[in-house]
Amino acid sequence: MAFGNGYDAFQDPELFRSPEEAEFLESARNMFPSLSNEQILNAWRANNSDLERTLDTLLRASDAQEVDSSGHQNANHMSSNSRGSFCTSINAVGSLSQSSHGAHYPGVPIASSSSSSSGEFRIENFVPVQERRRLRTEFFRGFLPDADPDFLREKAEQFGDNEVDICEWLESAMQTRNYPKLLDYLKRKEVEDVLNRYGSMNAQDFLGSFPDPKNYFDNVERTPSKLYSENVLALLKIIFLGVNEERLRFGLQNGRGLLIPSLKSLQDLGIKRGPLPSCSVFFQRDAFDLTFLQEMTYLRLETEIETESGLRKCQKRSAVNEAKKSGTLLECAICCMDDFLVSDMRECVRGHLFCSTCLKRHAEISVAEGKHVSCLHADCSESVALSQLRDLLSPNVFASVLRYVQKTELDNAKLGHLEACPFCGFEMEFEDESLTVFECINPLCRMNTCRKCKRSDHRPLLCYNVEDDNQVKARRILEESLSEGILRQCPKCKREIIKIEGCNAMTCLCGARFCYNCRQIIDRGYAHFDRGRCATWAVADELYKRDLSLAVEQGRKRVRETVGDVKLLHDPTKNLLEDQKRL
């Protein structure tokens, strides 16, 4: 059953499960006059409201109905394009390899019989600008998988729906391969992520990683790296603008090359310091040392941290007073002090209690002696859980405890599958396989990384797979082989045409008709096919499948011969043959 234009879908509220459904039906109904409302809505539901998939299903359904009613397949089988060869081959590779469900990409000419049979269909009319831009960016990524995605997004914005410019640009980009690369983008993004994380930290965040930052950064027993020293000198030059370098170096010497001690020594000399630049500005050009970044962040938050620490002390004092009144203060069996809150106490895995001050001192001694942190009670050798130590120890001491725990657990083969943080190498076991992000608990690192691609956390974007040289070479061979294999040159004007599916009689834009099978110019009508040498459309798909599998086979063979055994990250032939079986 079909509905005329006078039908108002909204008068039938029983039909819809949501306003979105009604809205979709409104726009899709005119496109598919041969389909019923139920058919349209069922397709929408079956495809989980995915617009592209739904349209694809509906296009197929309406094609099938047209074939049924007219008795033979739609004659509109030709695929060619006024831009000539390249755009057409983009269509083929684009619509074949980029989409497993046969959807078409916005902003790029469409070349398959299913879309040409409903002439007015343009995805542009249905997909919001934002989504179109995303789709187009992903489409570009299919052809230039090693390109900087920011750059591709810019291009998608710049071109809008201008198909001619898109083709021209893609053509030259694929030939010259001269565009910003993905690898540089990823490096840049990792740096940005770290800078953003430290740049947006507040006093509470910072105290979470550095329980006693003042002590930690005043300590002159630290050994600075070369990069750290360069960072310190560069920063001192900025905040002591106009002070001669001799004096700066003198201050640096006093502070043993460390940022905060050197800064204090210079201030003690009576030199006034200027404002601190923001991290993102300061590190615009230079690489940074992570310890330096942490120290600089402390400098930025110093006042805030002091206020926060003061506040915490006050709160604690009144909590102790409260507890004293109610008689809930606890005594530490080790130091025999008796004014501890419950929150001051720590325990071993068997539940022996001791105060956090005693545990902290004990842990520091254990680390120095290369021993694991055990219970403080004389007759107990149980260990103390990491969670009991985490907010207590300075980051470097806690990192040592972690290393020790890790080593002994490895030795005892207690842990099954260990994964290492790609940034600091700290290893962790994952019990929950569904977790996608590695949240490093090493306080000196604290990076969040994708467990799959080992890059810094990139949710909600898909993983970035970086191709190596061989993978790029192999992919290009396959791409070439594919377009060669299913490309036909018009015998008259030499324009290149790709056949996606349909009848074997091909009509070129120049008006010439030729046979896909024997490639000869043929007259009007189907006399050529009656002679028995070439078939019309009955076996046209078979022929196309044959060409395609031949192209895939030859491409893969050439890859084996020239590049060798290579595992492709972006395989243009993937799913291709399976897709064809499905068609």
Alpha-carbon span 193 to 232, nearest angstrom: 21
Contact 401, 386 (CB under 8 A): yes
* CB-nearer residue toward Zn ion: 55 or 450: 450
Asked if residue 260 binds Zn ion (CB under 5 A), the reply is no
Taking the complex as a whole, the smallest distance from the CB of residue 80 to Zn ion amounts, in Å, to 8
Contacting residue, 296, 334, 399, 478, with Zn ion by CB under 5 A = 334
Span near Zn ion by CB under 5 A; candidates 136-144, 233-241, 390-398, 441-449: 441-449
Contacting residue, 24, 288, 423, 544, with Zn ion by CB under 5 A = 423
Contacting residue, 424, 441, 466, 566, with Zn ion by CB under 5 A = 424
Contacting residue, 167, 445, 548, 552, with Zn ion by CB under 5 A = 445
Taking the complex as a whole, the smallest distance from the CB of residue 438 to Zn ion amounts, in Å, to 8
Q: Residue 19 contacts by C-beta under 8 Å, 6 or more apart in sequence?
A: none
Question: DSSP string spanning 525-579?
Answer: SSHHHHTSSS--STTHHHHHHHHHHHHHHHHHHHHHHHT-S---SS-TTTTHHHH
448 CB-contact burial (10 Å; exposed 0-12 / middle 13-18 / buried 19+): middle
The residue written with tokens 């019923």 in the block is 36
Span near Zn ion by CB under 5 A; candidates 14-22, 162-170, 374-382, 571-579: 374-382
* CB-nearer residue toward Zn ion: 276 or 453: 453
**Total site size for Zn ion, rule CB under 5 A:** 35
* CB-nearer residue toward Zn ion: 282 or 426: 426
* CB-nearer residue toward Zn ion: 165 or 382: 382
Contacting residue, 410, 510, 521, 550, with Zn ion by CB under 5 A = 510
Window 515-544: contact mask with Zn ion (x via CB under 5 A): x-xx---------------x----------
* CB-nearer residue toward Zn ion: 298 or 426: 426
SS3 assignment, position 345 = strand
Left if phi > 0, otherwise alpha if psi is -120 to 50, otherwise beta: which for 425?
A: left
Asked if residue 498 binds Zn ion (CB under 5 A), the reply is no
Per DSSP (E only), the strands in 410-477 are: 418-420, 427-429, 437-439, 448-450
* CB-nearer residue toward Zn ion: 276 or 424: 424
Alpha-carbon span 108 to 94, nearest angstrom: 9
SS3 assignment, position 428 = strand
Touching Zn ion, residues 340-369 (CB under 5 A): 348, 350, 352, 355, 358
The one-letter code for the residue type at 23 is E
Taking the complex as a whole, the smallest distance from the CB of residue 363 to Zn ion amounts, in Å, to 13
Touching Zn ion, residues 456-475 (CB under 5 A): 463
* CB-nearer residue toward Zn ion: 450 or 576: 450
Asked if residue 453 binds Zn ion (CB under 5 A), the reply is yes
Residue 199 to residues 217, 235, 278, 283, 294, Cα–Cα distance (Å): 18, 16, 8, 11, 10
The one-letter code for the residue type at 229 is S
Taking the complex as a whole, the smallest distance from the CB of residue 377 to Zn ion amounts, in Å, to 5
Task: Give just the sign of the alpha carbon dihedral 137, 140, 144, 145.
Answer: positive
Alpha-carbon span 475 to 280, nearest angstrom: 38
Contacting residue, 41, 123, 248, 508, with Zn ion by CB under 5 A = 508
Contacting residue, 78, 90, 440, 500, with Zn ion by CB under 5 A = 440
Asked if residue 375 binds Zn ion (CB under 5 A), the reply is yes
Contacting residue, 236, 243, 332, 402, with Zn ion by CB under 5 A = 332
Taking the complex as a whole, the smallest distance from the CB of residue 117 to Zn ion amounts, in Å, to 23
Asked if residue 421 binds Zn ion (CB under 5 A), the reply is yes
Q: Residue 562 contacts by C-beta under 8 Å, 6 or more apart in sequence?
A: 473, 477
Taking the complex as a whole, the smallest distance from the CB of residue 347 to Zn ion amounts, in Å, to 8
Beta bridge partners of 181: 147
Alpha-carbon span 372 to 288, nearest angstrom: 33
DSSP state of 98: S
Question: DSSP string spanning 481-524?
Answer: HHHHHTEEE-TTT--EEE--SS-SEEE-TTS-EEETTT--B--S
Asked if residue 487 binds Zn ion (CB under 5 A), the reply is no
Asked if residue 449 binds Zn ion (CB under 5 A), the reply is no
* Measured distance between the N- and C-terminal CA atoms of the chain, rounded to whole angstroms: 26
Alpha-carbon span 466 to 183, nearest angstrom: 7
Site for Zn ion, rule CB under 5 A: 332, 334-335, 348, 350, 352, 355, 358, 375, 377, 380, 382, 421, 423-424, 426, 440, 442, 445, 447, 450, 452-453, 463, 490, 492-493, 495, 508, 510, 512, 515, 517-518, 534
